[in-house]
Structure 1
Amino acid sequence: MDPRLAGRTARLLEPLHALGYFAPEVETEVTGVGVRKGRATYFASRAAAMGRVGAGPVAATFYVFNPSLVAHFIPAAWEAASPEDVVAARYRGVSAALARLLGEDALVSGEVAEAADLARTASDGCTVAGRPLYAAHADLPWPDEPHMVLFHALTLLREHRGDGHVAALIGADLSGIEALVTHTATGRGFTQPAAQATRAWSDEEWSATVAGLAERGVMTSDGLLTEGGVALRKAIERRTEESAFGPWEHLGEAGTSRLTELCRPLVTTALTNGAFPAGVFA
């Protein structure tokens, strides 16, 4: 099987998982059980599968966020609502969001049921070792409804890939902020202002990181990747793809192609119906 097909499939499917972080239905449900409105809902809903953990494990697994930002919301979220209630609220919210974005009829269609089966089969090829955020979500019970089986399977695949990406960053000796600085320097969609605003790194921290990477020969002093920096980022992406290949190999080329065929119109419909703010997954 061509690894490039696996990578293309993972990128295509990403919006069907990520919409849960932007859907107002999720925020309504999660705040309804007591979590603060705003960024707290993101940290709580994504981390809740790990249980009543402190800010340290969340910052470790989320990696590129400023730990001080994480500590602002975790563990305070667990004082407001139990992780179990947050998980349940998240899934209720996602179900409602999918109904709005895709339509009730689509959720009970044969295509969604088939896609759910294929995605679940792919997720059976994920591995637990060294992948804490994936492992936490893999311990959750499977939903019953096909559209939520699809969402859960895609969440497992996304967190499995994400854990592998963190491992690749650590192997490349890049801290969370160094990962962000070098990623934005590639020019591939994520800008410095967006990275700083959403991950809470100050101008001073960003500038100091650029200077440190320049000393290592990864970047120039004005924030451009050197030849070595470009090679480093390519190596990280290659290693991420390699470590995420197992589930797609397990599903097989025919199954992966069929999942792509089934989900492409779902992604298009979700995007058309406003699943994300302007500029996200454009």
Structure 2
Amino acid sequence: MSLAVVRESAGRRCHDVLAPLHSCVYFAPEHQNEIAALGLERGPMTYYAGRAAPLGMVDAGAVTATFYNFNHEHVRRYIPAAWTVTTPESVLAARLRGADRTLRRLLGEETLTSPEMAEAAELALRAAQGCRREARPLYSANADLPVPEAPHLALWHAATLLREHRGDGHLAALAIAGLSGIEALVLHNATGKAPTSALFMRTRGWSALQWTTARDRLRERGLLDEAGDLTGSGAALRGEVEALTDRLDAAPYDHLGPDATARLTELAGRFTTALRAAGAFPAAHFGKG
């Protein structure tokens, strides 16, 4: 295995334990409650507004383009309507309050005020300094936001930056692979390690017919078998997409360096393990089907 592959794999491992520190808020009532308190509908509207707020008062087209795997007609039901109720600035403040409340409940005060939390925040912020803005709209928009003072919120902010940086690159890799947004979801779901098809359809606005049609297209390409499982070609394509994503996401971990990346992986891994143990990611939402 080449040194480049080892380096890129280390970045992926670090990202895999950092990203849940950001995404746990989407399964938590605190995030939705804080944004809904601004007058927005619970459900998709609070999600779209919360994640898109760093972009400013954008229309549905920008959200669909940067989120990739959401049904544009579904997005249009909530954006830009959300901006007639409140402002992106108010949503940004609300989502930070939601993150604070979520992490306090799931991790506890002792963990939040620990030296390890402060160390992880410093390392993650240092990694984020190596991120690149070019062709990364969600990362770049979040990078313009101030860094919170509290270490656990600084870590959440840094995890957000690193998640969106990798995500922006991942979307480029999906486009190169010729996968539409819904096809990417169906292929991911076929691994059995992703959210369920029911959750994907409900949160992304796809119908059962659209899901089935996308699955049929993937079968025609030889990426899924008749049972809807990954074929060898499907697994290979997913591997190519992840390898390209790794290469596009190498910069922050190269900037941090191998030893510090390993330390950040260790620390973030502890926090993510604690999040999972606290029920941050309900098992009913994950698995094939």
**TM-score of the superposed pair, with normalisation by structure 1:** 0.93
Q: Is 1:117 aligned with 2:146?
A: no
The aligned runs of 1:110-149 (5 Å cut-off) are 110-149=115-154
Q: Distance in 1 between the 2:116 and 2:145 partners? A: 25
The aligned runs of 1:220-239 (5 Å cut-off) are 220=225, 223-239=228-244
- C-alpha displacement at 1:220, in angstroms? 4.2
User: CA, structure 1 residues 208+262, in 2 after alignment: closer, same or farther (shift >3 Å)?
Assistant: closer
Q: Distance in 1 between the 2:114 and 2:230 partners? A: 47
Q: Is 1:181 aligned with 2:177?
A: no
Residues 178-187 or 163-172, more deviating? 178-187
Q: Which runs of 5+ in 1 are unaligned?
A: none
- C-alpha displacement at 1:115, in angstroms? 0.8
User: CA, structure 1 residues 187+271, in 2 after alignment: closer, same or farther (shift >3 Å)?
Assistant: closer
Q: Is 1:104 aligned with 2:135?
A: no
Q: Is 1:54 aligned with 2:91?
A: no
- C-alpha displacement at 1:19, in angstroms? 1.1
Superposed CA RMSD in Å reads: 1.9
Amino acid at match of 2:122: D
- C-alpha displacement at 1:140, in angstroms? 0.9
> Number of matched residues?
282
8 A Cα contact 1:218 1:228, kept in partner: yes
1:90 pairs with 86, 89, 95, which one? 95
8 A Cα contact 2:44 2:203, kept in partner: no
1:8 pairs with 10, 13, 22, which one? 13
8 A Cα contact 2:136 2:165, kept in partner: yes
- C-alpha displacement at 1:166, in angstroms? 0.4
Q: Which runs of 5+ in 2 are unaligned?
A: 1-5
- Matched with 2:3 is none
Residues 215-224 or 202-211, more deviating? 215-224
Percent identity (aligned): 50
- Matched with 1:263 is 268
Q: Is 1:240 aligned with 2:240?
A: no
User: CA, structure 1 residues 280+216, in 2 after alignment: closer, same or farther (shift >3 Å)?
Assistant: closer
1:64 pairs with 64, 69, 78, which one? 69
Residues 134-143 or 21-30, more deviating? 21-30
- C-alpha displacement at 1:106, in angstroms? 2.2
Q: Distance in 2 between the 1:272 and 1:215 partners? A: 40
Q: Is 1:208 aligned with 2:232?
A: no
